[in-house]
A and B are shown apart, each in its own frame.
Chain A
């Protein structure tokens, strides 16, 4: 057997392997899409005003502590807290945790909300870095500020959990903004299940370019920056397709750290957020699933597509790289920490469906996609005999990917009962057609870098430059 025969055989093998993997992806995503379609379609006509109103009475709700970990968030933290203050919810407190910021996050918050130091006995359920000071707003007594020694997001959240008075807490990023009824809606599965649901996450939307005034998103539009447009499409696919299906069967392993609610008791029992991994939000959810099975409980973790959290997405390549590298590193870390659950009969659906999905599709996906790109390149270089088939197959996957993106736009429109402008549809469609040629290869490399960082034990959060979501109004000359 000569080298060329071996090379052809290897080439054919990889071709079949990639084809087989793509068929799995198409089957899984198509199933998720069909499921999400029926789920969202059912609720499309329900008047959200009244369905939220019925949960507004104290008797039906549970009080919530909203935790806002903030590290160098001087630009965004005030808007975030303002948006939280306008939430329609019977009883809640807002706890901002300044995690040793190097900018003016602490002073800005103290000055704006007229905060004063307070003494409070803190029940230390979770070990954290030292809390240096505790403040309470004199104008809004339900706003608390924790000043602590830097320890990372997980450590900050754990400190917040210790200080929290209420049985449920909501974790939200320091630059995020919630819709008025978001908390009501994300708490609904928890409240309506009598506590069977112990954690719930809401969907996250990108607010870059939106009109934000005093912590409220007044108007949204698809911005012109290609990187942001691509992320909008990605977020639609992730939230309106993937998580709905997983949630129905209690298979969700990620509820966004940007906006999620947890039972304090269960999180404390699980040991709180792990400071050992960068992907602390996913790791906590996996840990909760583990605890549910260990306790032989019927508790669930849900995703609610309806409530919305607005967040700032990175708008340059450097920021995107940092984010995606961190996400994939966190994913790898969480999967490795709980590798004992994989195919373990004790963990039933999580062990046999959810974790394999996250390993095969979410984790190995970038590597196999990269292999796919190389395969296409080599096939094209080999000669014309493969050219037609490569073009058709590539075209098929490209069109399928665009089809998923367009369906996600439709699902988002149904979920929010707000149909996008035709200009925005055009932008999203155009860029989803180009995704395969530049955005996906780029993010694949960033995600592979995350794997490299994990393997070389580089725990670097990196910094994302925040521009803040509020438009700075120019004051007229006096």
Chain B
């Protein structure tokens, strides 16, 4: 027979667990009821005022019913906030954002500020998302103060704050970029750097050597997605081609291949025989910027490369040159290298 004390403990545990089960079920039922009430309210609000909001946000028209649509009730705030979130993520129109921002500043300053200073991390993140997406400039000073006081719980919150500052006051971001208070990786840096104004970004190149490695990588990627290179920036990028780090060289080549601009093809020739297939592949893109005859000659060699990716890249670049399809057909007819023939055949059939 099991010890009586053990049985007593087992009984007590049963009672405690049953109590927890009961409380959790009660909690679920209550939350469901509250959620349903809120959703019904919001749905009713949408049915009544969605058209009004649509007219205001897209056309700037404030109808009579517009003034009755923002009575100060919390559920109203939730409904309107949801409308704002929907429009900001589905309609890419600066006027919409301006109207949202103006409206929020007049009517919901207190609510969004309370969200930003909430103890709950999730609520603070939601506030930061809204400051960023709704352009709530009136809260940027608050974000700045929180940054200075290190009032962030983790790297996600920290990154979002820096992203906001990059958009509104980039000078404050520099020290955090160069000496971040929390470890930032490439992904985090990209989120911040991508929102820096282009002029400021160019100014930052003087700090390149002092940048943490992850920042260097993200920094170089900038012009891959914003192809508005000028000669000075091209000079900066081409200077990095001599880096010992292959990742840096690859990022540079990738950005330059998107520019449509090079200074001198001789700087890139060493990459034709690089040990790394990535560099050879990127060379197949860059060489198209050189003299046509030279480009064709280089690509005809690279279409026989040992790497599938390089061959494919060479075939693709050849196809897009003047008389490219004819050159590819020639390669097929000559039949000297079966891999080259295969690469040429594939690109001619697909495109």
Please report A residues at the B interface, Cβ cutoff 8 Å.
42-47, 49-51, 53-54, 57-60, 118-121, 123, 191-194, 385-386, 388-389, 392-393, 395-396, 399-400, 402-403, 406-407, 409-410, 413, 418-422, 425, 429
Interface size, B (range) = 35 or more
On whether the beta carbons of B186 and A194 are closer than 8 Å, the reply is yes
Q: A71 vs B224: C-alpha distance in the bound complex, in angstroms?
A: 42
Once bound together, how far apart are the Cα atoms of A118 and B11, in whole Å? 69
CB of B268 closer than 8 Å to a CB of A: no
* B-to-A contact residues, CB < 8 Å: 1-2, 7, 10-11, 13-14, 17-18, 20-21, 24-25, 27-29, 31-32, 35, 85, 89, 120-123, 125-126, 129-130, 133, 185-188, 190-191, 194, 214, 221, 224-225, 308, 312, 342-343, 345-346, 349-350
Assess whether B350 is in contact with A59, with CB atoms less than 8 Å apart: no
Q: Quick one: which of B24, B120, B191, B224 contacts A45, CB cutoff 8 A?
A: B120
A422 contacts B14, CB within 8 Å?
no
Which residues of chain B are within 8 angstroms of A46 by Cβ–Cβ distance? 121-122, 125-126
List residues of chain B with CB within 8 A of the CB of A399. 14, 17-18, 21
Judging by beta carbons under 8 Å apart, are A60 and B133 in contact?
no
Q: Chain A residues with Cβ under 8 A from B126's Cβ? A: 45-47, 50
Since A386-B1, A406-B25, A410-B28 are in contact, a sample of 8 more A-B pairs with Cβ atoms closer than 8 Å, ordered by chain A residue number, is A46-B126, A49-B89, A54-B129, A121-B308, A192-B185, A194-B214, A389-B1, A392-B14
Which residue of chain B has its CB nearest to the CB of A414? Answer: B31
Interface secondary structure of A, over-half rule: helix
* Given A45-B123, A47-B126, A422-B32, A392 and B7 contact (CB-CB distance below 8 Å): yes
Shortest C-beta distance, A398 to chain B (Å), equals 9
Q: Are A419 and B32 in contact, CB atoms less than 8 angstroms apart?
A: yes
Q: Given the complex, which residues of B lie within 8 Å of A409, measured CB to CB?
A: 24, 28
Q: Is the CB of A193 within 8 A of B187?
A: yes
Residues of B within 8 A of A403 (CB): 17, 20-21
Complex contacts, A50 vs chain B, CB 8 Å:
85, 89, 126, 129-130, 133
Q: Name the one of B7, B13, B25, B120 contacting A389, with C-beta atoms under 8 angstroms.
A: B7
The 7 nearest A-B residue pairs measured at CB: A45-B122, A50-B129, A419-B32, A389-B2, A46-B122, A419-B31, A403-B17
Q: Which residues of B have CB within 8 Å of A53? A: 89, 133
Give B65 Cβ to nearest chain A Cβ, in Å.
27
Q: In the complex, what's the smallest C-beta–C-beta distance from B118 to chain A, in angstroms?
A: 9
Q: Are A58 and B225 in contact (CB under 8 A)?
A: yes
Contact yes or no, B190 A59, CB < 8 A: yes
Contact of B28 with A419 in the complex, beta carbons under 8 Å: yes
- Chain A residues whose CB sits within 8 angstroms of the CB of B350 once the complex forms: 118, 120
Looking across the interface, which residue of chain A has its beta carbon closest to that of B82?
A: A49
Whether A119 touches B122, Cβ cut-off 8 Å, given contacts A50-B133, A53-B89, A392-B7, is: no
